[in-house]
A = this chain, B = another copy of it.
Amino acid sequence: MDSRVQFCTACGAGVEKKIPPGDDHRRYVCTVCGNIHYQNPKLVVGCIPEYQHRILLCKRDIEPRRGKWTLPAGFLENGETVREGAMRETYEEALVRVEIIAPFRLFDLAFVNQLYLMFRASILVPDFGPTPESSEVRLVLEEDIPWDDIAFPVIARTLRHYFSDRVKGQFSFQSLELSKSTSAIK
């Protein structure tokens, strides 16, 4: 999922895709000024907000997967730390303030040039509500997770790992890779 570049951001001339001298990757290079437009993976940050053994889920009111349930998460912005990004996304999607506990899972989704970093988090005051991004926000027990209606495989995976660690009483950080095929498995 390369974002297509057709014109140079520095001079507005056309670009071509080629390997610059001393490089080994094809890049979008300006045919006039030579500016190189690098493209790199994007980091999604989010959390698993817990309150009295319940997990906060958001029903997506935006595409893709409108109407499906997810954990709060979104692209890290310039100038913020991963914790700040996870807290901001959680507030934007569910109007709830969380306390970040620790990083829980880092998933490589190299097939879409994304990484997901999911934190464990606590809700101190269960004050939340719908937002432009979420038509509904709920605290749900493990047995009530709508497994068939989770928006993305990486979110279902995060939840399963979380419950699996929680029952053992020990959470450990892991960095894992999801392939296009494994990510289809809930």
Chain A residues proximal to chain B, CB less than 8 Å: 1-14, 22, 25, 37-43, 75-84, 102-103, 106, 108, 110-111, 113, 115, 117, 132, 173, 175, 177
Contact = CB atoms under 8 A, between A and B. Distances in A.
Number of copies: 2
Contact of A6 (B12, B77, B78): B12
Contact of A11 (B2, B7, B111, B132): B7
18 contacts: A2-B78, A3-B9, A4-B9, A4-B10, A7-B11, A9-B9, A12-B13, A12-B14, A40-B75, A40-B78, A41-B77, A43-B43, A43-B115, A81-B177, A82-B106, A83-B175, A102-B175, A106-B117
| Main DSSP-derived SS at the A contact region | loop
